[in-house]
Amino acid sequence: MESVARGGTRWKRFAVVMVPSVAATAAIGVALSQGALAASFSVSGQSFKVSADQLDGKGLVQYGGVDVGVDMEGKKAHHPVSVSAFKTAEITNMCQSVVSHVPVIGDVTLQLKAGGGDTPVEAENLYIDVAQLDADAEFRGLNIGVAAGQSTKGPGMKGGKEIADPNGFAQEADRAILSNIKQTAWATSAGTFKLSGLSMKLHQGKKECF
């Protein structure tokens, strides 16, 4: 039997419609908690929030770019971002959330949590298009001032809907450890993304990660 909220919304059907656009955040689904799959997450016209106790990444390159997307009115939109790309990363106690406004119901939050136990989230060729980041950071083997397209430590430039200058300023590191992470991002993608202890919930109202 399907549960029905005020306004006549059938929540299970609502989730089925909403998940493909929102929860692609790391190819969301039960399969992700069982194995490593190709993954991407972007919300058309919206940014989303991510928090984590720690991200331990190896093979980092950071460079500036512009994400090209579509806003809530269906018009092309450009979002300046700082791209952080890791060859591999382990993320402890990760939370991702996005708030969508639904007519009649109001705000609805899709929240995902993973890596909260002894096994962290694992990612390979991870790209995060960041609009804002607050964290404590430690870099090892840091090299500042390389050309974005010439980094040998990171996984290379992403391409796709991202606009970036391969000759533009960038920095790279053998390893980066970020703690107490609170970030707002426009897109995340990974070659593989394995989520241990995956939990995904819909909340009526705003219930963001921070």
Contact 204, 134 (CB under 8 A): no
Number of domains in the chain: 1
Residue 135 placed within a domain: yes
How crowded is residue 73: how many other Cβ atoms within 10 Å of its Cβ? 7
Residue 5 placed within a domain: no
pLDDT range class, residue 13, cuts 50, 70, 90: very low
Residue 4 placed within a domain: no
Q: What pTM, to 2 d.p., does this model score?
A: 0.80
Residue 190 placed within a domain: yes
Residue 6 placed within a domain: no
Residue 172 placed within a domain: yes
d(CA 55, CA 89): 7
Question: Which domain, by its residues, includes 39?
Answer: 11-204
Contact 93, 69 (CB under 8 A): no
Residue 210 placed within a domain: no
pLDDT above 90: residue 12: no
Per-residue pLDDT reduced to its tens digit, 85-106: 999 999 999 999 999 888 888 9
Q: What percent of the chain has pLDDT over 90?
A: 63
Per-residue pLDDT reduced to its tens digit, 165-176: 999 999 999 999
pLDDT range class, residue 30, cuts 50, 70, 90: very low
